[in-house]
Amino acid sequence: FPIMEDKGHFTREEINSTVWEVPEKYTRLKQIGTGAYGVVCSAINEKTKEKVAIKKLHRPFQSEIFAKRAYRELRLLKHMKHENVRRWSQAQQAADVYLVMPYMYTDLSKVRGHLSEDKVQFLVYQMLCGLRYIHKAGIIHRVSNQFNVYCGILDFGLARSTDAEMTGYVVTRWYRAPEVILNWMHYTQTVDIWSVGCIMAEMINGKTLFKGKDYMDQLSQILKVCGVPGQEFIQKLESPEARSYIKNLPRHPRKDFSTLFPRASETGIDLLEKMLVLDGDERPTAELALEHPYFDGLREPEDFPEPTPYDDSHDNATLSLDEWKRLCYKEVKSFVPFPRRDSKRKNTLTMSP
C-alpha cells in the first residue's frame, strides 16, 4: 500500500505495546489517548517545531468492515472546513493509517473549579457553531463529550450520515441522549444537542450531571432530573421493552433547573432546559440554539459558513478489502489543507475559572 511521504525516512518504535512507524520528522511521541478504533500520540514536527496529535487507526485493513470505517473517517474529516471542527492535516499510509492533526493543549476534562458564565457562553457557542456546520453537512457527530470537545470538535471515528442505521452503545454513557439508551433507532441530530446540554451543565456546576453507573442507572439519573415522560413520548419509542419499562415507572415531575443550577443566569437556564428535553423532537437544532438570547453579543457572520453536503454514497456500499484500500488511498492523495481563520477574539480565552 503506497506511503504518501515516499521521499522521507521513517522511524519505528513501540509505544505501550503498539508499533508506530511515522516519518522521522515526528519526534517525542507520547500516547495521550486511546479508544475502540484508534490510539493518539502527541509529537513534535521537527520541521515546523509545532506540536501535533497523531491518530493511528486500529487495524484499518483487517477486514472490509474496518476498512470501510477508516474510509468513512477519512471522508468525514476531509469534508469539514470549519474552525470549530478539527480535521486532519496530512496522513501517512502503509499497513496502517495515521492522521496528523493540530494538537489540542487542553480539553474540558482538565478544567478545575467553576467557569465564569462568559466562558461557559463562549465555549457552548463554539460547540454549537461546530455542530451547526456538521449537521448542515448532513452528519450526526454522536461522540460529543468533555474529552473531545473544547472549541474544536474532535474524532469522527463514530460519526455517521443522518440516514444511516445507528446503534446505541457508541456515545460516552454520561452524555448519551435518552432516545439512544431507549433504542429509539431513528434518532436525529438533536442527540448531539443533548450532549452539549450535559457538557454545559457540567461547566456550570463543576460536576457531571448524569453520572450513571451502568446502562439502566444512566436512564434513572436522567429521569430523576427530567421527569418521567408521558404517553406522547412513550408512543414514539420503537422498543416494546422500553415502552413497557417507562409505563411502569412511578410518576415524578421534572426538577426545577433554577434550583439545580443556582450559578446560572436566567437565559442560561432557559437554554439548558430546551437542550435537556427527553423528546429529541422537542430539542432545538444547533442553528436554532445559536439564535437563543444567551448568545447575544457573541455572534459573528463568519462563524456560520455554509458546508457542502457530505457525499455518503459509499456508506451503504459493499466492497472488497482492496477496493476500500484504494478509496482510502484516493482520499489521502487528494487532501488539500484548509486555511484556518485567525480570530483574535477566539485566541484570548484561557481555561482558568
**C-alpha distance from residue 170 to each of 95, 144, 317 (Å):** 26, 11, 21
pLDDT at position 67 over 70:
yes
- Same CATH fold, 108-295 and 21-105? no
Closest CA to 125 of 153, 164, 167, 159: 153
Residue type for position 121: Q
Domain 108-295 has CATH 1.10.510.10: yes
Kindly state the helix (H) or strand (E) to which residue 246 belongs, with its residue range.
helix 240-247
Which pTM value belongs to this model?
0.70
Q: CB–CB of 58/85 below 8 Å?
A: no
| pLDDT band, residue 163 (cuts 50/70/90) | very low
Q: State the pLDDT at residue 241.
A: 85
Q: Locate cell 415507572: which residue? A: 249
Digit-coded pLDDT (tens) for 189-209? 888 899 899 989 988 998 889
R_g (Cα) of the chain, nearest Å: 21
Digit-coded pLDDT (tens) for 71-105? 887 777 777 654 544 444 444 445 678 888 777 65
Q: State the pLDDT at residue 36.
A: 61
Digit-coded pLDDT (tens) for 36-56? 667 888 999 999 998 988 888
Domain ranges of the chain: 21-105, 108-295
Q: Which DSSP category does 176 fall into?
A: -
Q: Locate cell 516519518: which residue? A: 23
**Torsion sign (Cα): 116, 118, 121, 125:** negative
Residue type for position 260: L
Q: If you classify domain 21-105 with CATH, what class do you get?
A: alpha beta
The DSSP-derived string for 10-69 is EEEEEETTEEEEEETTEEEEEEEEE-SSEEEEEEEETTTTEEEEEEEESSTTSSHHHHHH
Contacts of 316 (CB under 8 A, 6+ apart): 164
pLDDT at position 338 over 80:
no
Task: Check the annotation: does 213 bind a ligand.
Answer: no
Digit-coded pLDDT (tens) for 136-148? 887 765 443 333 3
